[in-house]
Chains A and B, each alone.
Chain A
Amino acid sequence: MSETISEYAHPEVLVSTDWLAGHLDERGTRLVESNEDVLLYDTGHIPGAVHIDWRADLQDSLVRDYISPEGFAELCSRHGITPDMTVIFYGDKSNWWATYALWAFRLFGHEKVKILDGGRDKWIKEGRPHTKEKPKLERSNYPVPAKRHDDSIRAFYDDALAHMQARGTMIDVRSPGEFKGDVTHMPEYPQEGVLRGGHIPGAKSIPWKTAVNDDATFKSAAELQKIYVEGCALKPGDDIVAYCRIGERSSHTWFVLTYLLGYEKVRNYDGSWTEWGNRVRAPIERS
């Protein structure tokens, strides 16, 4: 964790591996592991952690959308989570998927959320305990949220288009090759269904991983200010839309902008490039 953690806009949203090691049995908290690697949790996880899978648990299995409020209530109840509980997320790939799960929890109005700075990699590298034993938790009765907050932290295609036309700040967090339009998918990986390469006109390229250190912790507030505020000429109160390919990497940038830099109006365009790059007549820029 950055030594200047107090300089983040909301430092309370991060917990360190040291803190967590001393609070594994903390009442009123639930530890959630969320990874890209679908089997990683089963190979061993932090004691007491439950597993939430970004696709199987958070996404609708038929329509390209997130689960319903009823589905969210069932997911939380299954893991013994209550609305007043602080959910601490962590995962692989510098918390890439943990921030995605956190963003999804915020979609349903669950406000008490935190991230383990450095995520799974730092915990394991420090030789801290992990287990294959899954916690036996009493089922809770999480009430069905009144709504999903799509309007405040999520952007749809029409929102992103209007934002682009209004010359609002748009951040493309994909790799430079994807931004330039040289590639539409990662090398050696199967094509995920994007017909055109490039980026949304006017978008700034700031790959998501520039926000993290080699040990998977977040960069300091000063470094993040330089990357995002100077890099995108952000002003206080700016309305920002972030996107990637399917909305997962951009949830990481959403987290950084919202919690670490304190921007209050940040939306994740989760349709991202797999929607925009396929959309008939959607404007595209290459550079």
Chain B
Amino acid sequence: MIIDLAREFSPYPSGRFAGDSEFNGTRFRVEFLEPALRAAKESHQKVTVDIDGVRSFGSSFLEEAFAGLIRLGVYRRDDLRDLLEVRCTKPHLAIFRDTIASYIKNAVPDDRAVAHH
């Protein structure tokens, strides 16, 4: 199961919340990641998020979309690692792949459900 972030969502994702921009991190998490992860879990597959076509990210988008899954208690870290992988073949996007991995590694479940990373 592959989500082509640039094609299916936006090549210019930005912002954390709905009021920040149309293509924000919350929307991507709720409308794309969570349904795909649920389906992948049921079918014992993985979700691959392909970021190759994206021009650039803000870290607020990445934190909200990916670390938000753990911070909001939707998934536990180990479960998320089993279900999700991020793919990029372009060297200049490698830092974003590493950033997502770092956010997932360091995310802490937070009852307040508000992040100020």
Real complex partners, A and B? Answer: no
